[in-house]
Amino acid sequence: MKLPLILNGDDVTLDGDTRESLFTVLQREAGVFQEKTNCRKGTCGRCHVVLDSKEVPSCLVPFFQVKQREVVTPEGFSQTDEYRQFRLILDEEGLVECAECTDVQIFHLFSYLELFPQAGKEECRMVIGEIPCRCGSRPVLERGAARWLERKEAVRVGRR
Ligand code: FES
Protein backbone atom coordinates (compact mmCIF):
# COMPACT_ATOMS: atom_id res chain seq x y z
CA MET A 1 0.00 0.00 0.00
CA LYS A 2 1.52 3.31 -1.07
CA LEU A 3 0.58 6.39 0.93
CA PRO A 4 1.36 10.03 0.27
CA LEU A 5 2.42 12.12 3.26
CA ILE A 6 4.58 15.09 4.15
CA LEU A 7 7.81 13.94 5.76
CA ASN A 8 10.08 16.62 7.21
CA GLY A 9 8.56 19.17 4.85
CA ASP A 10 8.79 17.05 1.70
CA ASP A 11 5.95 15.37 -0.20
CA VAL A 12 6.78 11.68 -0.24
CA THR A 13 5.07 8.38 -0.97
CA LEU A 14 5.96 5.49 1.33
CA ASP A 15 5.18 1.85 0.79
CA GLY A 16 3.98 -0.23 3.73
CA ASP A 17 1.66 -2.94 4.90
CA THR A 18 -1.60 -2.18 6.71
CA ARG A 19 -0.32 -4.15 9.75
CA GLU A 20 2.91 -2.17 9.96
CA SER A 21 3.58 0.75 12.26
CA LEU A 22 4.67 4.15 11.04
CA PHE A 23 7.99 3.49 12.81
CA THR A 24 8.67 0.30 10.83
CA VAL A 25 7.87 1.97 7.53
CA LEU A 26 9.92 5.07 8.32
CA GLN A 27 12.89 2.89 9.25
CA ARG A 28 12.69 0.77 6.12
CA GLU A 29 11.49 3.27 3.54
CA ALA A 30 12.90 6.58 4.73
CA GLY A 31 16.08 5.47 6.52
CA VAL A 32 15.30 7.22 9.80
CA PHE A 33 15.74 5.84 13.34
CA GLN A 34 18.61 3.69 12.09
CA GLU A 35 20.97 3.96 15.05
CA LYS A 36 18.59 3.61 17.94
CA THR A 37 17.57 0.63 19.99
CA ASN A 38 13.81 0.74 20.32
CA CYS A 39 11.26 -0.92 22.55
CA ARG A 40 8.47 -0.88 19.95
CA LYS A 41 6.02 -0.80 22.86
CA GLY A 42 5.51 2.93 23.33
CA THR A 43 7.73 3.31 26.38
CA CYS A 44 11.29 4.24 25.34
CA GLY A 45 10.51 7.45 23.45
CA ARG A 46 13.14 6.72 20.81
CA CYS A 47 10.69 6.58 17.92
CA HIS A 48 8.82 9.80 18.62
CA VAL A 49 7.66 11.95 15.74
CA VAL A 50 5.48 15.02 15.55
CA LEU A 51 2.32 14.02 13.67
CA ASP A 52 0.23 17.05 12.71
CA SER A 53 1.73 19.10 15.58
CA LYS A 54 1.38 16.37 18.22
CA GLU A 55 4.29 14.29 19.50
CA VAL A 56 3.50 10.57 19.32
CA PRO A 57 5.41 7.26 19.49
CA SER A 58 5.52 6.18 15.85
CA CYS A 59 5.74 2.51 16.90
CA LEU A 60 2.11 2.77 18.05
CA VAL A 61 0.78 4.60 15.00
CA PRO A 62 -0.59 2.33 12.26
CA PHE A 63 0.97 3.29 8.96
CA PHE A 64 -2.41 3.45 7.20
CA GLN A 65 -3.42 6.36 9.47
CA VAL A 66 -0.82 8.80 8.16
CA LYS A 67 -2.18 9.32 4.65
CA GLN A 68 -1.81 13.00 3.67
CA ARG A 69 -0.62 13.90 7.16
CA GLU A 70 2.49 15.80 8.21
CA VAL A 71 5.27 13.93 9.99
CA VAL A 72 8.42 15.47 11.49
CA THR A 73 11.17 13.20 12.81
CA PRO A 74 14.14 14.05 15.06
CA GLU A 75 16.29 13.83 11.92
CA GLY A 76 14.10 16.48 10.29
CA PHE A 77 14.14 18.71 13.35
CA SER A 78 17.95 18.48 13.43
CA GLN A 79 18.02 20.49 10.18
CA THR A 80 16.33 23.54 11.75
CA ASP A 81 17.99 26.75 12.98
CA GLU A 82 16.42 26.22 16.38
CA TYR A 83 18.18 22.87 16.69
CA ARG A 84 21.51 24.28 15.54
CA GLN A 85 21.35 27.16 18.02
CA PHE A 86 20.52 24.81 20.85
CA ARG A 87 23.35 22.47 19.85
CA LEU A 88 25.81 25.38 20.06
CA ILE A 89 24.72 25.93 23.64
CA LEU A 90 25.08 22.23 24.40
CA ASP A 91 28.53 22.13 22.83
CA GLU A 92 29.57 25.04 25.07
CA GLU A 93 28.25 23.05 28.01
CA GLY A 94 30.42 20.09 27.02
CA LEU A 95 27.90 17.72 25.50
CA VAL A 96 29.27 14.37 24.38
CA GLU A 97 27.06 13.23 21.51
CA CYS A 98 25.13 10.03 22.08
CA ALA A 99 23.66 8.39 18.98
CA GLU A 100 21.02 6.69 21.11
CA CYS A 101 19.45 9.59 22.93
CA THR A 102 20.84 13.10 22.29
CA ASP A 103 18.68 14.03 19.31
CA VAL A 104 15.69 12.19 20.74
CA GLN A 105 15.91 14.16 23.98
CA ILE A 106 16.30 17.46 22.14
CA PHE A 107 13.35 16.60 19.89
CA HIS A 108 11.19 15.66 22.88
CA LEU A 109 12.15 18.86 24.72
CA PHE A 110 11.39 21.15 21.78
CA SER A 111 8.11 19.35 20.99
CA TYR A 112 7.11 20.12 24.56
CA LEU A 113 8.26 23.75 24.34
CA GLU A 114 6.25 24.12 21.13
CA LEU A 115 3.11 23.11 23.02
CA PHE A 116 4.04 24.88 26.27
CA PRO A 117 6.17 27.90 25.39
CA GLN A 118 5.89 29.25 28.94
CA ALA A 119 7.50 26.15 30.44
CA GLY A 120 10.17 26.76 33.05
CA LYS A 121 13.44 25.06 33.98
CA GLU A 122 11.78 22.52 36.26
CA GLU A 123 9.36 21.39 33.54
CA CYS A 124 12.21 21.13 31.06
CA ARG A 125 14.14 19.01 33.54
CA MET A 126 11.12 16.72 33.90
CA VAL A 127 10.67 16.42 30.13
CA ILE A 128 14.36 15.62 29.57
CA GLY A 129 14.03 12.91 32.22
CA GLU A 130 11.21 11.21 30.33
CA ILE A 131 13.54 9.76 27.70
CA PRO A 132 15.64 6.82 28.93
CA CYS A 133 19.32 7.77 28.94
CA ARG A 134 22.36 5.64 29.68
CA CYS A 135 25.01 8.07 28.46
CA GLY A 136 24.74 10.52 31.35
CA SER A 137 24.07 13.60 29.25
CA ARG A 138 20.96 14.74 31.11
CA PRO A 139 22.73 17.32 33.31
CA VAL A 140 24.23 18.93 30.19
CA LEU A 141 20.83 19.02 28.53
CA GLU A 142 19.29 20.53 31.64
CA ARG A 143 21.92 23.29 31.76
CA GLY A 144 21.43 23.87 28.04
CA ALA A 145 17.65 24.08 28.45
CA ALA A 146 18.06 26.58 31.31
CA ARG A 147 20.29 28.77 29.12
CA TRP A 148 17.84 28.45 26.23
CA LEU A 149 15.01 29.67 28.43
CA GLU A 150 17.15 32.56 29.70
CA ARG A 151 17.96 33.52 26.12
CA LYS A 152 14.29 33.40 25.12
CA GLU A 153 13.39 35.57 28.09
CA ALA A 154 16.15 38.07 27.25
CA VAL A 155 14.81 38.32 23.70
CA ARG A 156 11.27 38.72 25.01
CA VAL A 157 12.16 41.67 27.27
CA GLY A 158 14.39 43.21 24.61
CA ARG A 159 17.81 42.68 26.16
CA ARG A 160 19.15 41.07 22.99
S1 FES B 1 10.08 2.24 19.96
FE2 FES B 1 10.02 2.73 22.06
S3 FES B 1 8.36 4.14 22.19
FE4 FES B 1 8.34 3.49 20.16
Alpha carbon 60 to chain centroid, angstroms = 16
Ligand 1, atom 3, residue with closest C-alpha: 42
Q: Which ligand 1 atom is nearest residue 58's CA?
A: 4
Q: Which of 2, 4, 5, 42 is nearest to 23 (CA)?
A: 42
**Residue-wise pLDDT tens digits, 80-132:** 999 999 999 999 999 988 888 888 999 999 999 988 988 999 999 999 999 88
Q: Is the Cβ atom of 49 under 6 angstroms away from ligand 1?
A: no
- CA of residue 150 to ligand 1 center, whole Å: 32
Largest CA distance in the chain: 53
Going from the Cα of 43 to the center of ligand 1, the distance in angstroms, rounded, reads 5
Mean pLDDT of 129-155: 90
Which residues of the chain does CATH 3.10.20.30 include? Answer: 2-73
What residues are paired with 72 via a beta bridge?
A: 50
pTM of structure: 0.88
Q: Which of 21, 22, 40, 111 to mutate to test the pocket of ligand 1 (most atoms within 8 A of CB)?
A: 40
pLDDT given at position 159:
67
> Is the CB of 40 inside a 6 Å radius of any atom of ligand 1?
yes
Q: What is the pLDDT of residue 160?
A: 60
Residue nearest to atom 1 of ligand 1 (CA): 40
Quick one: pLDDT at residue 101? Answer: 85
Look at residue 109 in the predicted model and tell me its pLDDT.
94
Our answer on whether the CB atom of 108 is closer than 6 Å to any ligand 1 atom is no
Query: What is the second-level CATH architecture of the domain 2-73?
Result: Roll (3.10)
Calculate how far, in angstroms, residue 94's C-alpha sits from the geometric centre of ligand 1. 28
